Amino acid sequence: MVASASIERLLDPATNAIENGVFVAVVGPSGAGKDTIIDYARAALRDESGFHFVRRVVTRPSSVDAEDHDTLSEEAFAKALQSGAFSHQWEAHGLCYGLPKSVHDEIRLGAVAIANVSRGIIPALRKTYANFAVVHITASHEVLAKRLAARGRESAEEIQRRLMRAGANPCDPSDAIMIDNSDEVARAGDEFVTLLRKMAVKAAVSEQV
């Protein structure tokens, strides 16, 4: 469980950034269960106001074995990007990802916005939002390998490359809150939910100051 002091340190306002709410960037290696933990929190907090789970835009068809997201073709994504439809965007594994511009409005209204993002855009997110935190979902090497194999979407060589990338990364922020999802989902999920509720309280206090 994360101490309140740690959350206060993470929510240290940046200069000239969007205030009131909190942006929670969820990062971690493939197979760690980021979307699973986010879905767990979404269900647990469905009757509580002030939490906004960001629906990403991806140039990949939505399917039952992946996150529920909005899909655009590469051409449509490029047009949306040019029109200013995204608050942030990045590319990974041959796909384009975008966060809708509406995230800014949610933060201004005081919401805790949660999104699965690439570690590479953390510096840009940190500059954009006054209250910002990173939650790093991880799992043991053995668990990651088992989950990646169970997905059946990649070859053994591709899985091995993903596992190699799961190690220490220069983009990993030193202030990230670590959550181990090697065991039952409920254990890591409850830890994440508790963290989000604490951030909501801190954001409310920050908004009143």
pLDDT digit string, tens, across residues 128-162? 999 999 999 988 878 777 766 766 565 556 656 65
The larger pLDDT score, comparing residue 14 to residue 195, is at 195
Q: How far apart are CA 23 and CA 18, in angstroms?
A: 10
For residue 35, which of 78, 66, 14, 3 has the smallest C-alpha distance? 66
Question: For the chain, how far is it from start to end, CA to CA, in angstroms?
Answer: 26
CATH number at residue 145: 3.40.50.300
Is 25 a domain residue?
yes
Is 88 a domain residue?
no
Is 96 a domain residue?
no
Question: What are the tens digits of pLDDT across the range 6-39?
Answer: 555 455 444 568 999 999 999 998 778 899 999 9
Question: The domain containing residue 33 runs over which residues?
Answer: 17-54+101-208
Report how many domains make up the chain: 1
Is 181 a domain residue?
yes
Is 201 a domain residue?
yes
For residue 166, which of 134, 185, 142, 188 has the smallest C-alpha distance? 142
pTM of the model: 0.81
